[in-house]
Chains A and B, each alone.
Chain A
Amino acid sequence: MKEKQFLGVILTLVLLFTAQPAAMAAANNGYATEIEADCRLPLIQVTVPSSNAVYINPFQLAVSIGEVDSTAQIISTPASIANKSEVPLAVNVTVTGTVNEGSDMTLASAPTGGTGTDKSAFVYFEIKQSNSSDLETVQWEPAYNAAKHIIVSSTSITRQNILTLPAKTLDDEVAEGGYALFRLTGDAVKNPASQWDSRDGINVTVAFTFTPLSYC
């Protein structure tokens, strides 16, 4: 009897020793994954015309702009920007005007109404969102609107987020509303004391900047 009890004790002790190593081995195993995160930046692709022409037409002569005839006193050739970026873009515009050297005209800060004696022109920048670059599809504002237009002056004027252009389509095309047509327009004193001549003119710089927006 004593021998059997003794053997039973040995059996128990041995089993305890065999049970422990499995748990210890499990705690010491290890596997690791190193994940590198890179910054995904959108590809910004916007088509912006590099130059354009603007005419001062104080006598409102008929001028052909593309297939459109205009008698406006300030006429610019049609221009557009198009967004082919991966993301929508907020469009910011800075407009700066300078009078040609040798000209005695000035840039007015308010509409002239075509009257007065000072040789001045009131010129403002207008931009409209569009589904295409076709000039004939745009509906310009009938008159100057301070909320929508930017006056051309020698002091730069900036308008942030003047409009938002949607991202390109999955087919890599400009999306609906992804175009914006812009122009310069305004008026000029018809018969100033110092008559208009070929030295009179202006240069206008329109600087676009684009802020990427979230894709969704």
Chain B
Amino acid sequence: MKFMNLKRLGSVAMAGAMALSLAAPAFAANESVITGSYKEIRLAVTVPSTGKAVINPYGLPIALSDNYNLTGQGISNAAPLTIQNRSAVPLKVNASITGTVPTGSNFAFETGNALNANENGKKGLVKFEMFHALGLTETTLENEDVLIGGFAALDSADALPAGGKQIKGTAGTPDVATNILTLREGTADGNLQAGGAAYFRLTGEAVKAPATPWAATDTFVATIAFTFEPSATPFAMSAGTLAADTSATTSNEPVNAITTTGATIVLTSALPDSLTPSTGTNGNTVWSVDNDDFSITPNSTDPLKAVVKAKTTASPATGDNVNITVTITDDSNGISYTATVAGQAG
């Protein structure tokens, strides 16, 4: 009896020892070491530190170069200004603008929406505008026709934010515009590619004949502080507006009540004139939906049309959402133009 107990104890002890000896290698074999480190996103953005603008109450021509002039602008840049993104990611652009009037200047920023027709002070309505500069790449930056010609051709109708951002010059209150536009990422080699640059300018009007004539000492300063945020979505330009054509002969359902009959979706194009949408195997136009219960069939002859349908009567269920997207790719520069409309199963 006594011997038996000792053996059991010994076996227990041995088992314990064995368990212990097994425990250490078991932890080592199943262990995962995770090292966390901050992955820096290096911004490679070019922003000019200074610029020149002109208060031009008489609308005199402003010579940008021997071949390009600006005319008729009461407030204008004296030369093109651009920001350029060579970072590895697309960047959203924000701007905070502070307008100040130096001592000795009698200029005043207009804070209303427009200059009063009877205004006789030295006032100017000044706006900040940005524009995509799709023609600017690493190889065209030095090309006068692209850089300066492109700037001279800018139209406020295309400005971002829409209508421009008025600079009111209120002390302590900068004029802020957020998510103005997105700059495309640089190439794999870190070079500027189409979509990666944007023009920015001051524009507006000045009182033509103030009671005290304009003098050379009448100046102002606008300080534009840009900030950039990496964009989570790939860079794309707007292709225009998608809407359902409820007057179509067939598949004429509204976009918020799509069944197996279908809705014809049409793009009202905002594409550049140089970009021609095309269908087919080598076409540059792709239609898509983000809900597998819907099908989308591009029109065989019109790339700007497609029919979206519910796949079956059972699925999708009434009220199920779908986003319908068309993407047209400009093969000359790789820029995608997209438009999306939200739909629903009926």
Contacts and interface: CB of A to CB of B under 8 A. Distances in A.
Contact of A33 (B37, B41, B220, B224): B224
Interface in A8-56: 10-11, 14-15, 17-18, 21-23, 25-27, 29-42
B289 interface: no
How would you classify the secondary structure of chain A's contact residues: helix, strand, loop or mixed? mixed
A29 B227 contact: yes
Contacts of B228: 26, 29, 31
* Contact-residue bracket for chain A: 35 or more
B227 A18 contact: no
A178 interface: no
Interface in B20-35: 30, 32, 34
A10 B75 CA distance: 59
A3 interface: yes
Interface in A56-84: none
B103 to A, nearest CB: 14
Given A26-B41, A87-B58, A212-B58, A35 B51 contact: yes
A31 B200 CA distance: 14
Contact of B51 (A4, A7, A23, A34): A34
Interface residues of B, number: 55
A10 B41 CA distance: 25
A163 interface: no
A33 B230 contact: no
A31 B219 CA distance: 23
A31 B45 contact: yes
A83 to B, nearest CB: 14
Given A33-B226, A35-B51, A36-B52, A14 B41 contact: no
B53 A37 contact: yes
A193 interface: no
A214 interface: yes
A40 B202 CA distance: 15
A31 B56 CA distance: 28
A212 to B, nearest CB: 6
Interface of A: 3-4, 7, 10-11, 14-15, 17-18, 21-23, 25-27, 29-42, 86-87, 211-216
What are the nearest 10 A-B pairs in CB distance? A31-B47, A37-B53, A35-B51, A14-B36, A215-B59, A21-B38, A39-B55, A32-B225, A40-B56, A39-B218
22 contacts: A18-B39, A22-B38, A30-B227, A31-B83, A31-B225, A32-B47, A32-B49, A33-B47, A33-B50, A34-B51, A34-B221, A34-B222, A34-B224, A35-B50, A36-B221, A38-B53, A38-B54, A39-B216, A39-B217, A211-B209, A214-B59, A215-B72
